Each structure stands twice: as structure tokens, then as C-alpha cells.
Amino acid sequence: MNDFNLAGMNYFDIGVVLAIAIFALRSSMTGIIKELSSLVGMVAGLYVGFKYANQVGAYIHSNLFSLSNDTIIYLVGFFIAFIGVALVITIIGNILSAIFSLSGLGVFNKLLGFIFGGFKIFLILSIIIVLLYKLNFLTDILNKITFNSMLAPHLIEFGNSIINIDFGNISLESSNGFFQNIVNSIKELFSKLSSTTGI
């Protein structure tokens, strides 16, 4: 693996550094609490949306306004549940962030946000480049882009370590079927869309 030398950075390295710097600075302005609350809000929103889409959609259909078919009921229920949960958690995060700022801990909130933002984009880029390398028709292009790159080997090594994590010991039952719920709901959504559109 190449030693890091700023003078030897290629355009790929510069792009990666700029991306990390931009996202880290953005996260430092919002703070770790807002960053985490937005992430938790999105995950929780997806879970609640997939799990209770039919119930929420049916309630809206029965009590607020009529929806034309089961697919629309499901979609409306999903988006209402997703947006509602994500919004509530985001608001809570904003309140906690304000409390931190008033208590004099704002600097730590921003510092941790900076670190979190940089790590998050490094993680995303690592996974993306590893997945792209798995597409054979892109290999030659990627090799040219990352030729003599000092950061690419680190990204690939880290990305592989994440992608190759063994999740075999994680029980779906132990998490109340969280992942299976999402998979089944996605299948149900596509099944409904297919039956409606005739695809």
C-alpha cells in the first residue's frame, strides 16, 4: 500500500479529499446530534413506513379522503408514515442540538459532527468503489482513474472489509424481523405496482 504523500496525489485523490472535506464541514455546521437524528429518522421512517403502510393508508382512506386502489393506499400510507416519523425524530434532534449549544457543549457537537461527516462519506465512497470494481466492464476505466492513487487502496481495503462482514450470526428474530419486514414489504410493493400497471 502506498505511503501518503500530498505532492503525489492524483485527480482521484484530490476529488476524494475535497468530498470528505465538504461533507465534514457540512456536518460540523449541523452537528453530530442533527446528523445522527437525520440518519435514525430515515431508518426508523423506512421501518415504520414498510411495517404500517397498509394501516396508515387504510385510516386515511376511511377518515380523510378516498384513495382509488390498494396500491395508492399502500403508497400514501408508506410516505405519510415515513415522513411523519422522520420529521418527528429530526425535530427532536434539532431540540437536543439547541440544548447542547445553550449548555456550552456546542463545540463538541460540531467537532463530533465534523468527524462523523468525514467518516460517513469515506464509508460511502469505499463501498461505491468496491461495488463498481465488481462490474467487469468498468474495471479498465477505474484502473485508469485510480492509477498511482494513494487513497484508492485504502478505500478499496476498507470497502472490502465492510462488504465482507459476516452477518450470518445476526438473527432476524432477535431484531423482531426488522430486515425480513423490509424485504417482504418491498416485494409486496413491487407486486402491487406490477398488478396495477400490468408490467
One domain for residues 68 and 116: yes
Say if 96 falls within a structural domain: yes
Range of 50's domain? 11-165
Evaluate whether residue 104 is within a structural domain: yes
Q: Is 37 left (phi over 0), alpha (psi -120 to 50) or beta?
A: alpha
Report the distance separating Cα 93 and Cα 89, nearest Å. Answer: 6
Q: Tell me, yes or no, whether 93 and 189 share the same domain.
A: no
Do 121 and 182 lie in one domain? The reply is: no
Q: Which pLDDT band, with edges at 50, 70 and 90, does 176 fall under?
A: very low
Is 90 within a domain?
yes
* Cell numbers standing for residue 88: 418527528
Query: How many whole angstroms separate alpha carbon 106 and alpha carbon 164?
Result: 37
Question: 75 CB contacts (<8 Å, ≥6 apart)?
Answer: 53, 57, 189
Phi, psi values for residue 51, rounded to 5°: -75, -35
pLDDT of residue 81: 93
pLDDT at 111 (0 to 100): 92
Count of structural domains within the chain? 2
Higher-confidence residue of 41 and 185: namely 41
pLDDT digits (tens, 9 = 90+) for 135-152: 888 888 989 998 889 899
- Give yes or no: residues 17 and 102 share one domain: yes
- Lowest mean pLDDT segment, chosen from 7-11, 65-69, 104-108, 173-177: 173-177
Query: Based on the domain organization, do 107 and 194 belong to the same domain?
Result: no
* Phi, psi values for residue 135, rounded to 5°: -90, 105
In a shared domain, residues 101 and 178 = no
Cβ burial, residue 31 (10 Å; 0-12/13-18/19+):
buried
Q: Are residues 66 and 145 in the same domain?
A: yes
Helix H or strand E encompassing 39: helix 32-63
pLDDT in tens, 109-121: 899 999 999 998 9
Quick one: how far is CA 120 from the chain centroid? 9
Q: What predicted TM-score, i.e. pTM, was given to this entire model?
A: 0.60
In terms of domains, do 125 and 177 share one?
A: no
Q: Are residues 17 and 87 in the same domain?
A: yes
